[in-house]
Amino acid sequence: MSVAEERAALASRRWRVGVLALQGDVREHVAVLGMLGVEPVVVRTPDDTGRLDALVIPGGESTTMSLLLRSSGLEPAVRQMVRDGLPMLGTCAGMILLAKEVLDGRPDQISFAAIDVVVRRNGFGRQVRSFETDLDVKGLDEPMHAVFIRPPVVESVGPGVDVLAEVDVPGSPGERRPVVCRQGNVVVSSFHPELSGDGRLHAELLSRVEGD
């Protein structure tokens, strides 16, 4: 555990950090938060959303999560969290849901517009193009091991968005795309730090709660 992670672990025990648990790799996010000393709230219905300090939206299928956000009645609750400026972390499908605009999505899929980025679903292609690599992330001492699964590609970022990491586009020498972005209290990544058990973006999320 890094120093930042240990600090977060000490301070975070009393926080209510939600993990949207309609579909996807919920268990890995719960495990990473547990490593940081947080016992997360698993969010499946509006009854689970009371007094949350932060929300994690996991990887999975963004169109399925969109549909279940509507059918479960969670969509307005999450929109309210966005308006309240709640700290949020979204990985892969979570990035798609938190983005301002989605290309190559379904016309009816939800965009919470919590961060001013435009993303393209499956921007690197189908599963045979999924990959893992090591990335330097701004503010972190050691590189992150990044697992990309049919990842969204960031097409453009708005003026208030910090790009914390970029990746080389496979097959296009010299071309790089943002893969970790932050705006205010919202952090999104195209890849899955939770799949390699890396808690540093989650620690960053928790530091935002501390900031409140």
Partner 1 sequence: MSTQDGERELDSRSEHRTGTARVKRGLAEMLRGGVIMDVVDAEQAKIAEDAGAVAVMALERVPADIRRDGGVARMSDPALVEGIQQAVTIPVMAKVRIGHFAEAQVLEALEVDYIDESEVLTPADEEHHIDKWSFQVPFVCGATNLGEALRRISEGAALIRSKGEAGTGNVVEAVRHLRSILGDMRKITTADSAERYAWAKRLQAPIELVEEIAEAGHLPVPLFCAGGLATPADAALVMQLGAEAVFVGSGIFKSADPARRALAIVEATAHFEDASIVAKVSRGLGEAMPGKEISSLEVKLADRGW
Say whether residue 96 binds partner 1 (CB under 8 A): no
Return the half-sphere exposure (C-beta side, CA atoms, 13 A cut-off) of residue 46: 10
Say whether residue 92 binds partner 1 (CB under 8 A): yes
Say whether residue 180 binds partner 1 (CB under 8 A): no
Among residues 177, 182, 192, 202, the one that binds partner 1 under rule CB under 8 A: 192
Say whether residue 105 binds partner 1 (CB under 8 A): yes
Which CB, 60 or 87, lies closer to partner 1?
60
Q: Please, what is the Cα angle at 144 between 154 and 156, to 5 degrees?
A: 10
The DSSP-derived string for the chain is --HHHHHHHHH-TT--EEEE-SSSSHHHHHHHHHHTT--PEEESSGGGGTT-SEEEE-SS-HHHHHHHHHHTTHHHHHHHHHHTT--EEEETHHHHHHEEEEESS-TT------EEEEEETTTT-SGGG-EEEEE--TT-SSPEEEEESS--EEEEE-TT-EEEEEEEPTTSTT-EEEEEEEETTEEEESS-GGGGT--HHHHHHHHHHHH-
Say whether residue 195 binds partner 1 (CB under 8 A): yes
Of residues 92, 181, 202, 204, which has the active-site annotation? 92
Say whether residue 155 binds partner 1 (CB under 8 A): no
Q: 132 an active-site residue?
A: no
Say whether residue 107 binds partner 1 (CB under 8 A): no
Q: Which stretch binds partner 1 (CB under 8 A): 2-10, 145-153, 179-187, 204-212?
A: 145-153
Say whether residue 126 binds partner 1 (CB under 8 A): yes
Of residues 5, 192, 202, 204, which has the active-site annotation? 192
Cα 124 from Cα 21, distance rounded (Å)? 26
Cα 22 from Cα 164, distance rounded (Å)? 28
Say whether residue 111 binds partner 1 (CB under 8 A): no
Which CB, 111 or 133, lies closer to partner 1?
133
Say whether residue 106 binds partner 1 (CB under 8 A): yes
Q: 181 an active-site residue?
A: no
Cite the active site residues. Answer: 92, 192, 194
| Binding footprint of partner 1 on the chain (CB under 8 A) | 21-28, 44-45, 59-61, 63-64, 67-68, 71-72, 92-93, 104-106, 121-122, 125-134, 147-150, 167-168, 170, 173, 192, 195-196
